[in-house]
Structure 1
Amino acid sequence: MEVVTSTRPATAVRPGTGTGLLVLALVVLALNLRGPIVAISPVLDTIRADLGIGAGTAGLLTSLPVLCFALATPLASLLLARAGLERGVLIALGALLVGTVVRSTDGLPAVIVGTLVIGIAITVGNVAVPVIVGRDVPAHRAGIVLGGYTAALNVGSMIMLSFTVPLAAGLGWRPALAAWGLVAVLAAGVFWLGTRGNARRAAEAPAPDEGVGGGPVWWRRPIVWALTIAFGGQAFSYYGVTAWLPLLLHDELGMDPAAAGVSASVFQVAAVAGAFGVPVLLRVFDRPLPSLLVVCAFWATLPLGLLLAPELWPVWCALGGVAQGGGFTVIFSIVVRAARGPAEGRRMSALVQGGGYLVAATGPTVVGAVHEATNAWTVPLLVVLGAVAVLTVAGSYAASARAA
């Protein structure tokens, strides 16, 4: 069975207020699902000095939310099953606002508690979005909608990376980070408008048969585990690079912290090209393997380029950015197409993200610890290259027909 052929029933419901408004809701939601985590990266040195912590502990402030993505997925899946997709996401946005405020209060314990709440809240959104796309978006538009969502993840990261340092210079790092809670308030309003009525329409529609074709139980399907491993390689690379790229540029090229933070945003904004480019490639080739291989080739240029010619960092960051946006899109395009109904989509999304982010959670800490141990960036970049190799092998298997 070709994994690129949707296994969703042809009669799957498409409830909602219109695809355009739904896409806007998902885009504004996505601005909150990475930015609050990476916003801390350009002020890590300031936070380390203020709180009196080392590089490994500082790395935890970006890796703890990713660990939540892994460990809190069962809780997120349960919340979405009980409260519904729409209400569950609104609850999560409220928790995100609370966590953002708590993280900015005084003392390391408050910073850690707030960071954990942020991570749990974002986990709910992570799990919900592929299910909403699979349920409410026509199959031929799912790839481009996921591309828009992925692009918005990186635009949110770019905005918060670029403006946190200027805000911190005038207000201090705590008010600067707390200010991003306003984006969660905006997202809650837009998401409510964009999805109102969807739950009722979905409940009134005939439930799809998730056992179509007498296939294996969802967690026994090889594609689920291949996607989990591939996503682990993708996410480890993303978070390892995102956490330490500003410091790498500062160390290797002598950039001041503000310039390094803005420069690293190239890695985030370039993901827009990958997010929208992969759906085009998926249509051209009608199967995900060529798109996956292009993504992996682009990913490899980032660590290799920074090792061999760091002065060309804009090129390597742009290619790596295209890859990380495209990698997320191609992996979850396969998830959406392979899921045999909304409930299986929710479970697959939870497992792929839970297992993948469990690996990814180690990224900032491992990269930071290796850098601290070697006092150089060669070995940390080789670690990232190894994660890209994992993505290539597991992703290629997931993109093949035999993985279904």
Structure 2
Amino acid sequence: MSTSDGHGDDDGARPGAALAAGAGGLALAALLLVALNLRAPLTALAPVAGDVAAGLGLTSAGVGLLTSIPVLTFALCTPAAAALVGRWGPERAVALGLLAILGGTLLRSSGSVGAALVGTAVLGAGITVGNVAVPVVITRDFRRRAAGVTGAYTATMNAGSTLTTLCTVPLAVAFGWQWALAGWGVLAVVALVAWVPAGRSLARRHAGAAPSGTDPSRAGGLATSQRRLALLLLIAFAGHTSGYYGMSTWLPTILADRLGLDAAAAGGAAAPFQLAAVAGAFLVPLGLAGRLSERTVATGLCLLWLTLPAVLLLTPQAWWVGVCLAGAAQGGIFTVIFTLIARRSPSVAGARRTSAMVQTGGYACGATVPTVLGAVHESTGGWTAPLLVVVALLVAMSVALWVAAGPTRPTLPRG
């Protein structure tokens, strides 16, 4: 496999030259099977959290630790994952990430607290490698279709989350929670079977690429314009992930407290926040294909994201409007941010470094905000102050993304 950053394509220098139709279709299919593994094993835990707690003798705090470790891993391991992708190439990095996902999934279900903690960390590390490597492949091999491919990638991640959320409980009833969680390792096996030949094909195609050390854009690190883009997108992604993990954690409780719903009804009412993200991921390529500017698409999605805390603050009886609109928006915002990285980075190495910087800072914020919101709620005795914190985070996201998505000379023609 190639050990370069993959700067070359058919001319050995430009990222994003079109793949042949057949090869591109197979590579894209394999890439989406990889994406199916980048959230699904994590969301599988929540529906059977009670069974896991009983089986392992964990408190609620212990189960909470199992759910928070992966997000912390995303932040802590992203720099190492970016270095791995740069040294080994994205093809081998993705394969290694899938092996870690498979191993972590199985280890988490082996039946002891220590194995569950270590397995969850290994699982999170494997997903982190995929988080970094997949955008690199999109930048290098699908740049002219970056919005559509990134939208499909985002939608597939959310579809995987929906699949495991809906099916883990029936599997646990039939086979027990350990087999139910371990069984999702089959997704990693299927992705490996598809990715290994596709990755080899991509590596052969880029075998003649210039070594990453010869890329002039890497002299002194990121160029000034790329550092500015990275900083703006870091702020935007931090606001987005903070809002996402904060609302994902507390939305059912907020709905229960403000509307008087029982736990089951509140959980069901919160579900569209995740499900609508599948549709939201496709809003971005559809909007850009309709000749809307990146700034227009980003601004519209930011306004939709803000409807959720606004509705919960002002008219909680209309909760379903905010849940559905913000759910679609949060899937779209993720797509916008990584489409901007793919389109506006001058090289594959620049895209990799920008993506690593954005994800490190963003996930670090996302990992802490649910705890912060819980503390604010306890200190104030209500949900108004926590929701205002979410509004502030989303406003910061909106401003940064509005600036980042402003007009610029495209690096490559859009196709």
Q: TM class, shorter-chain normalised?
A: 0.7 to 0.9
CA contact (8 A) 2:73 2:121 kept: yes
Letter of the structure 1 residue corresponding to residue 132 of structure 2: V
Write the distance in 1 (CA, Å) between the matches of 2:76 and 2:197: 30
Question: Percent identity over the alignment?
Answer: 45
CA contact (8 A) 2:234 2:357 kept: yes
Equivalent position to 1:203, from 200, 207, 210: 207
Residue 192, structure 1, aligned to residue 196, structure 2:
yes
Q: Cα RMSD (Å) of the superposition?
A: 3.0
Report the 3-state secondary structure (helix = DSSP H, G, I; strand = E; otherwise coil) of the residue aligned with 1:218.
coil
Report the 3-state secondary structure (helix = DSSP H, G, I; strand = E; otherwise coil) of the residue aligned with 2:37.
coil
Equivalent position to 1:79, from 69, 76, 84: 84
Aligned to 2:350: 344
Residue by residue, what CA displacement relative to the aligned partner does 1:224-257 show, whole Å, maximum 9, x if unpaired? 1111111111111112222343444555453454
Aligned length: 394
Displacement after TM superposition at 1:97 (Å): 1.1
- Change beyond 3 A, Cα 1:313–1:36: farther
Residue by residue, what CA displacement relative to the aligned partner does 1:41-92 show, whole Å, maximum 9, x if unpaired? 3334554565565555543322221111111012111222232211111111
Write the distance in 1 (CA, Å) between the matches of 2:61 and 2:375: 6
Equivalent position to 1:297, from 303, 306, 330: 303
Structure-to-structure mapping, 1:145-164, within 5 angstroms: 145-164=149-168
Write the distance in 2 (CA, Å) between the matches of 1:388 and 1:370: 17
Aligned to 1:360: 366
CA contact (8 A) 1:147 1:275 kept: yes
Structure-to-structure mapping, 1:43-58, within 5 angstroms: 43-48=48-53, 56-58=61-63
Letter of the structure 2 residue corresponding to residue 361 of structure 1: A
Displacement after TM superposition at 1:328 (Å): 0.5
Aligned to 1:117: 122
CA contact (8 A) 1:223 1:403 kept: no
- Point out the more displaced range, 165-174 or 324-333: 165-174
Write the distance in 1 (CA, Å) between the matches of 2:52 and 2:383: 22
Instruction: List alignment gaps of at least 5 residues for structure 1.
Output: 1-7
- Compare relative contact order (CA 8 Å, sep 6+) and give the higher one, 1 or 2: 1
- Point out the more displaced range, 94-103 or 358-367: 358-367
Write the distance in 2 (CA, Å) between the matches of 1:58 and 1:180: 19
Q: TM-score, normalised by structure 2?
A: 0.84
Equivalent position to 1:27, from 29, 32, 35: 32
Letter of the structure 2 residue corresponding to residue 162 of structure 1: L
Residue 39, structure 1, aligned to residue 44, structure 2:
yes
Letter of the structure 2 residue corresponding to residue 347 of structure 1: R
Write the distance in 2 (CA, Å) between the matches of 1:235 and 1:403: 28
Displacement after TM superposition at 1:143 (Å): 0.7
Letter of the structure 2 residue corresponding to residue 25 of structure 1: A
Residue by residue, what CA displacement relative to the aligned partner does 1:188-222 show, whole Å, maximum 9, x if unpaired? 1122243331012112245798447x998416421
Structure-to-structure mapping, 1:1-400, within 5 angstroms: 12-15=16-19, 18-48=23-53, 56-139=61-144, 141-205=145-209, 210-211=215-216, 217-218=221-222, 220=224, 221-249=227-255, 252-257=259-264, 261=267, 263-285=269-291, 287-371=293-377, 376-400=382-406
- Change beyond 3 A, Cα 1:157–1:11: closer
